[in-house]
Structure 1
Amino acid sequence: MPGNPAAPVAPVPTGHSPLVRGYLLRLLVRPLLTTLVVVLPALLLERLLRLFDLLAPSGAMSPIIQLLLYLAPHYVGLALPAAFFISVFTVIAGSSEHHELDALQSIGVSLARLCRPFLWVGMLLALGGLGLYGYLQPLGRYHYRAALDAATHAGWNATVVPGEFVRIGRRLSVTADRVDQTTGQLTGVFIEQQHPDGATSTTTAQSGWLTSQGDAGQLVLELQDGAQVTVAPDGEVTTLQFGTSSLTRRFTIAVTVFRPRGDDEREMTLDELWTRRTTPTPPPEGTPPVPARWLAAELHGRLVRAVSLAVLPLLAVPMALGSQRSRRWYGATLSALIIMLYHHAVQLAESLGDLGVLEPRILLWGVFAAFTLFCVMTFRRAERHPQEGPFDAFFVGIEQLLGTVLARLPRRRRGTTR
């Protein structure tokens, strides 16, 4: 009888297998999105509270959501490196704890091959970082400043706290005893106005309304049943009575247009920084020109922040390894300190470049090169010894030192009872 045909043998996955890559990427997506969803609202909540404190006196609370949307690119740029690092660290730590890394390495999958999917994701994030740091952040920053200026200086709406003075511009202060939140009617209005010639007008009215003429860029305050007393610089006093129908006293204040974009290098896009660095462009009227070294520091600082995303897996992967779970989280703490130091080093390099101490390109790319070299050396150390973290010996020494110190401390004796 002919023998049964042998059953087909499933191919063993390797580091180049789409199965392994897809599995690692699926593990990466969840912690990455989770970290962003948790960290980003926390950062925005802190700014939301500050905006409430800032805009509450003027009563301009409606544009707060718009202001937060303009700030979102800035906080995404802060949260993205940390979220990417934490997600890679979590995937490798979990795989090491469940011996999945041991199984993959036993069939010939090296740590370098395991790291490739994370490096590809880091490169994609670096490309996205060019758009985020180079375009979304500067445009969002300018629109945030313009919207905040409009909310704090463009004037006052009827949504005020009764009994509190509200300044409309520089020369007009208004308060009301009561405010109808439905109709916007003010009751018991008191107004103090400083005129350019030095005269002072004090106006009281039983009721009033505030309307906005957006096309004319003005705010119009209409009062009814009131009186006005004007004191001239020479002491002459003038009084005026006005009624409800025929006499309407208007106070108009021009809403100033926010400055055009371009007098701050942090509001310029990457191509604008590159163009102005090589070809100086006249600044907006009334603003000083931006020094070329400031433009260079801002340009290269953004480029360094973007490309740094591609290097983070080389630090996250070895830091997640360790012979003991506690030491892996020692590595997480040490990694947080390293990334924080790197972030501040980039900021320091930008500041020194602004001051003209050294060429900004040399400082910034030198900091990036040092960070990259450290990450590569740490990864190579972990690749040669995959069963232990690159700093396990350091952590063991710290534990022994702490144990020795604690052993030498005098212990408190228990009291005896009679």
Structure 2
Amino acid sequence: MFSFIPSIDRYIFRLVIVPMLGVFVLAASLLVLDKMLRLFDFVATEGGPVGVVFKMLASLVPEYASLAIPLGLLLGILLAFRKLATSSELDVMRAVGLSYMRLLRVPFIITLILAALNVALVFYIQPVSRYYYEQLEFELRSGALGASIKVGEFNTIADRMALRIEESSDEGRRLSGIFARVADDDGQVLAISAREGNFLATSDSPDTIILRLSDGIIVQDTPGSTPRVLSFSKQDLPIDLPALEEFRSRGDAEREYILPELLRMGWSENAPQAVRDASQASFNYRLVEVVIMLLMPLLALALAIPPKRSSSALGVFVSIVMVVAYHKVNEYGQAVAALGRADPVIALWLPFAVFAALILWMYHRVAHVPGGQPIGALESAFAKLSKSVGKLFKGRRRASPVAEEGIADTDVRDHSRPAMAGG
């Protein structure tokens, strides 16, 4: 089916795609797992259902994917060309006349596809999913997800009822150890205790639910009369739900704006200056994060080729540090530009220009300078450090048997002297 694609391109594609997908899945999984622990703790504290955790995590996947895609692309290309370099296949390809730009044809095609995907994520999908995450968090705090009644605590409902549930099982469908205190406008107070109960929805009024109680006692205390005690096997207790505050509309923060909204708010003369600054900063930040992906193949190639007769993986470490540092610089530039302290072009595109110039210089050193190594000084220092550490540990391993042997000889001589003197 793909016979029209040159075999060298298919080979490079296989080398790139496997580590790229692996790094992408690993990075996204680490970010999701770190957030999952905090969300489980938050949902447990608020008393919400467990299923909302996975909904909130799913809404954060686009945000994490926009960070994991550039990192996976960079490391996928870097590890592929590092394998070619350490196995001397890259030297053979260069010897038969294949230039580095020809070998980067497939990585650049993959980069364009992932850049287009990242544009859709950061300008459209991520803002909407972030708003959905904020909405879930609001509903969880307000009790709209069924988290307003906490087990083992007294809960106040509509300012006239106090309810306490000792235990809850079967995902809240079966309640036990129920106590309720209900007061009305006439001063009458009902103290109700029941062995079991469950909540039922009503079709007549969505703002009212029924708490059906089983095997309980009602103590009715009316002002001016003797309290009465009643027992029951089944009793329905209507509960008026508190009015839930509606969640805000999307667009409270600039990160919730999609691309047309950013362009409209950022360059509108009628918008407040603070909104314009924040929108322009967010637009430029998202744009530089996407554009820098187009230089990832050149950076990966420059750091993938170790010195001759060396299998150093220092380039992998340097690539991660460079990408993470550049991302943090962009975040700082966005924050400064959003406050109106700097122009977004200077705060975001100046670091981009510096980083792009550094990448182009590193690629030029590898591709056009014989024996050029963009991180040659770091490679030499790393090699010397590795040799020093290796010698240090090797010396310690050699010193330990000698010391033990010396102790053993001393023990033998000390025990042998009394025997000779007695002879």
Q: Per the shorter chain, which TM-score range?
A: 0.7 to 0.9
- Which deviates more, 354-363 or 86-95? 354-363
How does 1:180-219 map onto structure 2 within 5 Å? 180-181=169-170, 184-191=173-180, 203-206=191-194, 207-212=196-201, 218=207
Post-superposition offset of 1:256: 2.5
Aligned to 2:118: 129
How does 1:95-114 map onto structure 2 within 5 Å? 95-114=84-103
- Which deviates more, 181-190 or 349-358? 181-190
Q: What CA distance in whole angstroms lies between the structure 2 residues aligned with 1:177 and 1:194?
A: 21
- The residue identity in structure 2 corresponding to 1:35 is V
Aligned to 2:18: 30
Q: Which has the larger radius of gyration?
A: 2
Aligned to 2:264: 275
- Give the one of 236, 243, 256 matched to 2:245: 256
Contact 2:118/2:290 (CA < 8 Å) preserved in 1?
yes
Q: What CA distance in whole angstroms lies between the structure 2 residues aligned with 1:348 and 1:326?
A: 37
Superposed CA offset, 1:262-306 (max 9, x none): 111111101111111122678xxxxx9962111111111011111
Aligned to 1:364: 348
Judging changes above 3 Å, is the alpha-carbon distance between structure 1 residues 364 and 129 closer, same or farther for their aligned structure 2 residues? same
Aligned to 2:303: 319
Post-superposition offset of 1:335: 1.4
Q: Which runs of 5+ in 2 are unaligned?
A: 411-423
Q: What CA distance in whole angstroms lies between the structure 2 residues aligned with 1:311 and 1:275?
A: 29
Judging changes above 3 Å, is the alpha-carbon distance between structure 1 residues 226 and 75 closer, same or farther for their aligned structure 2 residues? farther
Contact 1:219/1:254 (CA < 8 Å) preserved in 2?
no
- The residue identity in structure 2 corresponding to 1:70 is S
- Which deviates more, 247-256 or 140-149? 247-256
TM-score (ref. length: structure 2): 0.79
- The residue identity in structure 2 corresponding to 1:23 is Y
- The residue identity in structure 1 corresponding to 2:39 is L
Aligned to 1:337: 321
Superposed CA offset, 1:47-94 (max 9, x none): 222221111241322222222221110111121111111100111001
- The residue identity in structure 1 corresponding to 2:266 is R
Superposed CA offset, 1:140-190 (max 9, x none): 000111122223323464998853556779997643223341781322223
Contact 1:70/1:140 (CA < 8 Å) preserved in 2?
yes
**What's the Cα RMSD here?**
4.0
Q: What CA distance in whole angstroms lies between the structure 2 residues aligned with 1:320 and 1:101?
A: 11
> What's the secondary structure of 1:253's corresponding residue?
coil
Aligned to 1:93: 82
Say how many residue pairs are matched: 392
- Which deviates more, 240-249 or 79-88? 240-249
Identity, in percent, stands at 25
Post-superposition offset of 1:244: 5.9
How does 1:6-405 map onto structure 2 within 5 Å? 18-57=6-45, 58-155=47-144, 157=146, 163-164=152-153, 174-181=163-170, 184-191=173-180, 203-206=191-194, 207-212=196-201, 218=207, 220=209, 222=211, 224=213, 225-227=216-218, 248-279=237-268, 291-323=275-307, 328-385=312-369, 389-400=373-384
TM-score (ref. length: structure 1): 0.80
- Which deviates more, 144-153 or 98-107? 144-153
Superposed CA offset, 1:188-246 (max 9, x none): 22357899x9x9988542143334569966363525445479999xxx99979775657
- Which deviates more, 180-189 or 239-248? 239-248
Task: Write 1 or 2 for the structure with the bigger share of helix.
Answer: 2
Q: What CA distance in whole angstroms lies between the structure 1 residues aligned with 2:49 and 2:183?
A: 23
Contact 2:212/2:234 (CA < 8 Å) preserved in 1?
no
- The residue identity in structure 2 corresponding to 1:97 is T
Contact 1:154/1:256 (CA < 8 Å) preserved in 2?
no
Post-superposition offset of 1:105: 0.6
Contact 1:125/1:310 (CA < 8 Å) preserved in 2?
no
- Which deviates more, 109-118 or 329-338? 109-118
Judging changes above 3 Å, is the alpha-carbon distance between structure 1 residues 223 and 333 closer, same or farther for their aligned structure 2 residues? same
Judging changes above 3 Å, is the alpha-carbon distance between structure 1 residues 158 and 313 closer, same or farther for their aligned structure 2 residues? closer
